[in-house]
């Protein structure tokens, strides 16, 4: 399948044909989104508790798989284990390197019930993950053991969200290959529920002011310790009530927001301080891959040129792009 027709048909399961870039209106799945966000925070905090520190908190993120999301291997003494969420069979699995496995279904249930069963499975596997049981980067931070508010799970919506993340992951990895400097993996941050890819100029940045809800300022100071240009996918929220692709740079250089970017549906959101491209514009484009690549490439060039990055040293020549 070529990049020009990846919007047509994809196979999610034997005998099941779905749009590769499916529709996903925020209002139709916001309750499931809120619940899934809390579940993923619980899983992500397991990695935070046990994985060795890396720059910019890269050790805490999740990664796309052919069926969902994974923590990748986490150390637990001399063993390792991984937590995988499968959005086709709708199950969570905890697999240890000694062969022991625990599973639990993904179905409508409260965050409190999910948290209790998940922690029971970790204890049964003798994994001591001492997590702080309170969500981060959300305004209403209900402790997980007490959260009986979030309890929705629409399996079809969860699958469609993962399908979008999977397509975005694939395209952003192509984009990442165009850069020779320091760059993050394409990874999923459970705090903000977004898929991200970040490039760095190599220069240190002024201390970030922090201010993220229910998140210590030192987290953002470490995350933005160096000049960066970041892009990714976010399902939306109060500030933007629709799924979008985003791009921003820190610190924002003079003239950045006034630069010309593409495609035509992209715009600069004053409140967010980011360039935004509605997901719907990508989904319905003649070539979704090309539309997304145009957005991330043009916003990167806007950031790098405005901040005077050494693009001759950092950029792979277009003739060598993957």
**pLDDT for residue 154:** 98
**pLDDT for residue 3:** 39
Task: Indicate if 235 and 304 belong to the same structural domain.
Answer: yes
Query: Span 146-175, mean pLDDT?
Result: 98
In a domain, 19, yes or no: no
Question: Measured between alpha carbons, how far is 230 from 307 in angstroms, rounded to an integer?
Answer: 14
Task: Indicate if 139 and 165 belong to the same structural domain.
Answer: no
Please tell me which residue, 222 or 12, carries the higher pLDDT value.
222
Question: Measured between alpha carbons, how far is 320 from 177 in angstroms, rounded to an integer?
Answer: 9
Task: Indicate if 67 and 121 belong to the same structural domain.
Answer: yes
With bands split at pLDDT 50, 70 and 90, how would you rate the model's confidence at 322?
confident
Q: Are 252 and 273 in contact (CB under 8 A)?
A: yes
pLDDT in tens, 93-123: 999 999 999 999 999 999 999 999 999 999 9
In a domain, 6, yes or no: no
Q: What element of type H or E holds 228?
A: strand 226-234
Task: Indicate if 210 and 284 belong to the same structural domain.
Answer: yes
With bands split at pLDDT 50, 70 and 90, how would you rate the model's confidence at 19?
confident
In a domain, 4, yes or no: no
The residues near 24 (Cβ < 8 Å, ≥ 6 apart) are 157, 160, 161, 164, 235, 243, 279
Task: Indicate if 293 and 167 belong to the same structural domain.
Answer: yes
Say if residue 37's pLDDT is above 80. yes
Task: Indicate if 41 and 187 belong to the same structural domain.
Answer: no
Task: Indicate if 208 and 278 belong to the same structural domain.
Answer: yes
Say if residue 270's pLDDT is above 90. yes
**pLDDT for residue 18:** 55
With bands split at pLDDT 50, 70 and 90, how would you rate the model's confidence at 312?
very high
With bands split at pLDDT 50, 70 and 90, how would you rate the model's confidence at 299?
very high
**pLDDT for residue 255:** 97
**pLDDT for residue 317:** 96
Task: Give the closest residue to 176 by CA, choosing from 305, 292, 3.
Answer: 292
Say if residue 214's pLDDT is above 70. yes
Average pLDDT of the chain is 94
**pLDDT for residue 13:** 46
Task: Indicate if 204 and 271 belong to the same structural domain.
Answer: yes
Strand duo 226-234 + 244-250: pairing: antiparallel
In a domain, 8, yes or no: no
In a domain, 314, yes or no: yes
Task: Indicate if 173 and 275 belong to the same structural domain.
Answer: yes
Query: Span 137-149, mean pLDDT?
Result: 97
The residues near 64 (Cβ < 8 Å, ≥ 6 apart) are 162, 165, 166, 169, 186, 188, 195
Query: Span 75-88, mean pLDDT?
Result: 97
pLDDT in tens, 65-78: 999 999 999 999 99
**Total domains present in the chain:** 2
In a domain, 15, yes or no: no
Task: Indicate if 211 and 133 belong to the same structural domain.
Answer: no
- Which structural domain, as residue segments, surrounds residue 50? 26-146
Query: Span 277-287, mean pLDDT?
Result: 98
Question: Measured between alpha carbons, how far is 306 from 21 in angstroms, rounded to an integer?
Answer: 33
With bands split at pLDDT 50, 70 and 90, how would you rate the model's confidence at 5?
very low
Query: Span 114-141, mean pLDDT?
Result: 97
**Bond prior to 84 in cis (omega within 30° of 0):** no
**pLDDT for residue 155:** 98
Question: Measured between alpha carbons, how far is 310 from 185 in angstroms, rounded to an integer?
Answer: 21
CA 312 to mean position of chain CA atoms: 29
φ, ψ (nearest 5 deg) of residue 229: -130, 120
pLDDT in tens, 21-30: 999 999 999 9
């Amino acid at each position: 399948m070529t990049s020009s027709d990846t919007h047509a048909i994809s196979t999610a399961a034997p005998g099941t044909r779905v749009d590769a870039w499916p529709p996903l209106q925020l209002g139709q799945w916001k309750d499931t989104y809120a619940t899934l966000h809390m579940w993923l925070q619980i899983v992500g905090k397991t990695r935070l508790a046990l994985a060795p520190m890396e720059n910019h908190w890269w050790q805490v993120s999740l990664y796309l798989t052919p069926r969902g999301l994974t923590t990748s291997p986490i150390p637990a003494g001399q063993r390792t284990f991984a937590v995988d969420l499968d959005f086709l069979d709708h199950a969570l699995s905890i697999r240890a390197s000694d062969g022991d496995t625990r599973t639990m279904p993904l179905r409508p249930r409260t965050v409190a019930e999910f948290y209790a069963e998940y922690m029971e499975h970790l204890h049964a596997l003798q994994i001591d993950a001492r997590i702080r049981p309170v969500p981060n980067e959300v305004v209403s931070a209900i402790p997980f053991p007490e959260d009986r508010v979030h309890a929705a799970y629409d399996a079809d919506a969860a699958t469609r969200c993962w399908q979008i993340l999977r397509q975005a992951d694939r395209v952003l990895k192509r984009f990442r290959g165009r850069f020779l400097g320091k760059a993050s993996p394409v990874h999923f941050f459970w705090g903000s529920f977004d898929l991200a890819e970040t490039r760095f100029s190599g220069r240190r940045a002024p201390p970030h002011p922090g201010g993220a809800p229910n998140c210590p300022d030192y987290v953002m100071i470490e995350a933005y310790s160096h000049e960066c240009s970041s892009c990714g996918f976010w399902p939306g929220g109060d500030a933007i009530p629709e799924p979008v692709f985003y791009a921003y740079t820190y610190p924002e250089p003079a003239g950045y927001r006034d630069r010309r970017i593409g495609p035509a549906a992209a715009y600069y959101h004053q409140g967010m301080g980011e360039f935004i491209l509605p997901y719907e514009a990508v989904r319905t484009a003649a070539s979704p891959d090309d539309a997304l690549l145009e957005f991330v490439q043009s916003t990167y060039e806007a950031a790098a040129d405005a901040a005077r990055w050494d693009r001759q040293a950092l950029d792979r020549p277009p003739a060598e792009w993957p």
